[in-house]
């Protein structure tokens, strides 16, 4: 994000001071990331975007969180674990069997061979394919089927700093794989697309996986595996259901809630159809600034640069 960026097409772009503030932070963070890389490296981290419902902003979050982190100088890979492969399409790529499908199909597969570059600097993707759907029962019936991704992701150490798993709208085998492989869990909601029952179900699923990952606490200074970051996207402060959703979600996840919803902006949808994240498509859109603020909270909370 620089002052030479094209004039925003968002009819209600972010405020100038807000843009300047986040750009200052991004600039400073880029310096820290570069210095840390020079000093011997950045500890790789994996984020799983999860929510058992569809249409709640998971893919939009995966793409834009990944793009924000890439803009900060991290080398980022998105793993498209959804048979609907919207992350692949949203990054302008075609679905292929030479993507996540191959990793679940052949235990000899090396993720380094499957990384594809995108239009965004520092951002790669391992694409999805609809045949993941047909493969799911076979993966689920394997004794270690839920841990295939967890065994695969470390092969990108040294190549990738941040892994982002985009999962389907259910708690099936691919979401479960994402959760077994993740250091942190990110849960987006769009207003009107959640149920209180669903929040409990998701928390319980994450907790059960945490109990099956005794090594997690050792790796993370005693921290329990849990839902770490929750926020609303497609938020409209003029609508009651947006305000109600914020209240309910903040109550459901008191520690994880990020109190800066990403506003609902039409260019988010346009960018995704054009195969690009909103944050590069229209950096000054209030949605881009919104995603940057979410990324900032996540980087600071998780001490990614500590
Ligand atoms: N901030 C936003 N402004 C406008 N539309 C959004 C925003 N966030 C998400 N959307 C739209 O909401 C829809 C569902 O989002 P998506 O990320 O595909 O959800 P999921 O992956 O959970 O199914 C998409 O059409 C997406 O473009
Ligand atoms: Mg999706």
pLDDT higher than 90, residue 306: no
Residue 43 falls inside a structural domain: yes
- Position 76 pLDDT exceeds 80: yes
Q: 4: pLDDT confidence band, cut at 50, 70 and 90?
A: very low
Nearest to 229 by CA among 261, 197, 205, 195: 261
- Which pLDDT tens digit goes with each residue over 244-284? 999 999 998 999 999 999 999 999 999 999 999 999 999 99
Confidence at 1, pLDDT banded by 50, 70, 90: very low
Classify residue 303: in a domain, yes or no.
no
Q: What is the pLDDT of residues 191-246, one digit of tens each?
A: 987 677 788 899 999 999 999 999 999 999 899 999 999 999 999 999 999 999 99
CA of 85 to the centre of ligand 1 (A): 14
Q: Residue 87 CA: which ligand is closest?
A: 2
Identify the pLDDT of residue 12: 77
Instruction: Please report the atom of ligand 1 found closest to the CA of residue 61.
Output: 17
pLDDT, mean of residues 57-74: 98
Residue with CA nearest ligand 1 atom 6: 234
Of the two residues 96 and 11, the one the predictor is more confident about is 96
* 168 alpha carbon, closest ligand: 2
> In whole numbers, what is the pLDDT of the chain averaged over residues?
93
CB of 85 closer than 6 angstroms to any ligand 1 atom: no
Q: Is the CB of 262 under 6 A from ligand 1?
A: yes
For a ligand 1 pocket test, name from 239, 269, 272 the mutation site with the most ligand atoms within 8 angstroms of its C-beta. Answer: 269
pLDDT value for 11: 74
**Per-residue 3-state assignment (H helix, E strand, C coil) for the chain:** CCCCCCCCCCCCCCCHHHHHHHHHHHHHHHHHHHHHHHCCCCCCEEEEECCCCCCCCHHHHHHHHHHHHHHCCCCEEEEECCCCCHHHHHCCCCCCCCCHHHHHHCCCCCHHHCCEECCCCCEEEECCCCCHHHHHHHHHHCCCHHHHHHHHHHHHCCCCCEEEEECCCCCCHHHHHHHHHCCEEEEEECCCCCCHHHHHHHHHHHHHHHHCCHHHHHHCCCCCCCEEEEEECCECCCCHHHHHHHHHHHHHCCCCECCCCCECCHHHHHHHHCCCCHHHHCCCCHHHHHHHHHHHHHHHHCCCCC
Residue 4 lies inside a defined structural domain of this protein: no
CA of 53 to the centre of ligand 1 (A): 12
3 in a structural domain: no
Does 74 reside within a domain? yes
In the prediction, which pLDDT does 200 show?
Answer: 85
Is 114 inside a domain boundary? Answer: yes
Please indicate whether residue 269, judged by its CB atom, sits closer than 6 Å to ligand 1: yes
Rounded to whole angstroms, the Cα distance separating 242 from 257 reads: 15
C-beta 192 within 6 A of ligand 1: no
Is 277 a domain residue? yes
- The residue contributing the CA closest to ligand 1 atom 16 is 57
Q: What is the pLDDT of residues 143-160, one digit of tens each?
A: 999 999 999 999 999 999
Supply the CATH number for residue 79's domain: 3.40.50.300
Domain span at 206: 16-298
Q: Is residue 150 in some structural domain?
A: yes
Ligand 1 centroid to Cα of residue 155, in Å, is 31
CB of 184 closer than 6 angstroms to any ligand 1 atom: no
Q: Is the pLDDT of residue 107 over 50?
A: yes
**Predicted pLDDT of residue 272:** 95
Candidate of 12, 53, 60 to mutate for ligand 1, largest count of ligand atoms within 8 Å of Cβ: 60
Q: How many domains does the chain divide into?
A: 1
């Amino acid at each position: 994000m620089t002052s030479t960026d094209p004039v925003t097409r968002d009819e209600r772009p972010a405020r100038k001071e807000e843009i300047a503030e986040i750009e200052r932070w991004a600039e400073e963070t880029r310096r820290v990331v570069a210095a840390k890389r020079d000093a011997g490296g950045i500890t790789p981290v994996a984020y799983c975007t999860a929510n058992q419902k569809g249409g709640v902003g998971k893919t939009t979050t995966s793409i834009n969180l990944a793009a924000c982190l890439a803009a900060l100088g991290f080398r980022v890979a998105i793993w498209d674990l959804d048979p609907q492969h919207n992350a692949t399409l949203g990054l302008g790529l075609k679905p292929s069997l030479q993507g996540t499908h191959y990793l679940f199909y052949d235990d000899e597969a090396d993720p380094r061979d499957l990384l594809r570059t995108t239009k965004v600097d520092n951002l790669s993707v391992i694409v999805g394919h609809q045949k993941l759907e047909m493969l799911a029962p076979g993966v689920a019936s394997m004794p270690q089927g839920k841990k295939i991704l967890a065994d695969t992701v470390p092969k990108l150490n040294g190549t990738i700093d941040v892994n982002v798993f985009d999962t389907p709208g259910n708690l099936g085998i691919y979401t479960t794989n994402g959760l077994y492989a993740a250091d942190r869990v990110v849960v987006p909601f769009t207003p009107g697309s959640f149920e209180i029952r669903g929040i409990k179900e998701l928390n319980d699923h994450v907790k059960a996986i945490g109990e099956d990952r005794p090594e997690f606490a050792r790796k993370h200074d005693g921290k329990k595996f849990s839902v770490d970051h929750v926020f609303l996207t497609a938020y409209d402060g003029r609508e009651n259901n947006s305000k109600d959703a914020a209240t309910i979600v903040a109550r459901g996840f008191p520690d994880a809630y990020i109190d800066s919803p990403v506003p609902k902006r039409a260019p988010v949808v346009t960018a995704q159809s054009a195969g690009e994240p909103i944050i590069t498509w229209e950096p000054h859109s209030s949605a881009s600034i919104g995603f940057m603020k979410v990324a900032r909270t996540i980087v600071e909370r998780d001490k990614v640069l500590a």
